[in-house]
Amino acid sequence: MVGNGKPLGDGATSPNGSFRGRLMKHWLIAIALLLAAWDMPGVGQAPAQAQPNLRAMKMRARTVTLRKNRYVGHVLDENRISYRLDEHGIITRVNLDGEWQAVERIDVVPMTRFFRGLTEVVGHEVYIFTPTQTIRLYSNRVAR
């Protein structure tokens, strides 16, 4: 409406509502259509060639897990701590003070030093988390 109370000739007001209201309604419809299209098969999904990459990534994850557990096994052997493996080669139990403890998590943290402009790994700290305690072991063995 103009100051004299007459409607503008460009359709600023109408029986269906204001121009701004109609514009908002159209925007909401457009957004709803975009969201509906996103859920359609094939939209927003990885291409078919990603499947071989996923297989390769799973194989790599398995290899890394096995190497990590093998490394932790060597560190436990060096510290004369008995342990048990499951059928997948994962350390599941450790013998601490004559009592077997379930292993909840194992973290391997590299120890580094800065020498002549380079950072080199000089060993690792191994943290083994059980329900009752955390075992902290040091090893100068470098994982490869």
Backbone angles phi, psi at 135, to 5 degrees: -95, 130
Least confident interval from 11-15, 49-53, 105-109, 116-120: 11-15
Residues belonging to the chain:
144
Residue 83 amino acid letter = Y
Contact call for residues 112 and 105 (beta carbons, < 8 A): no
Whether the pTM exceeds 0.85: the reply is no
Domain ranges of the chain: 12-44, 53-139
Cα gap 130→128, rounded to integer Å: 7
Task: Take residue 121 and report the two structure tokens written for it.
Answer: 């790994």
Contact call for residues 102 and 91 (beta carbons, < 8 A): no
Q: What is the pLDDT of residues 74-114, one digit of tens each?
A: 999 999 999 999 888 889 999 988 899 999 999 999 888 88
Does residue 15 surpass a pLDDT of 60?
A: no
Least confident interval from 6-15, 36-45, 47-56, 64-73: 6-15
Cα gap 19→1, rounded to integer Å: 11
- Between the alpha carbon of residue 94 and those of residues 10, 55, 68, 89, 103, the distances in Å are 80, 32, 16, 14, 7
Cα gap 130→92, rounded to integer Å: 10
- Is 47 in a helix, a strand, or coil? coil
Residue 33 amino acid letter = L
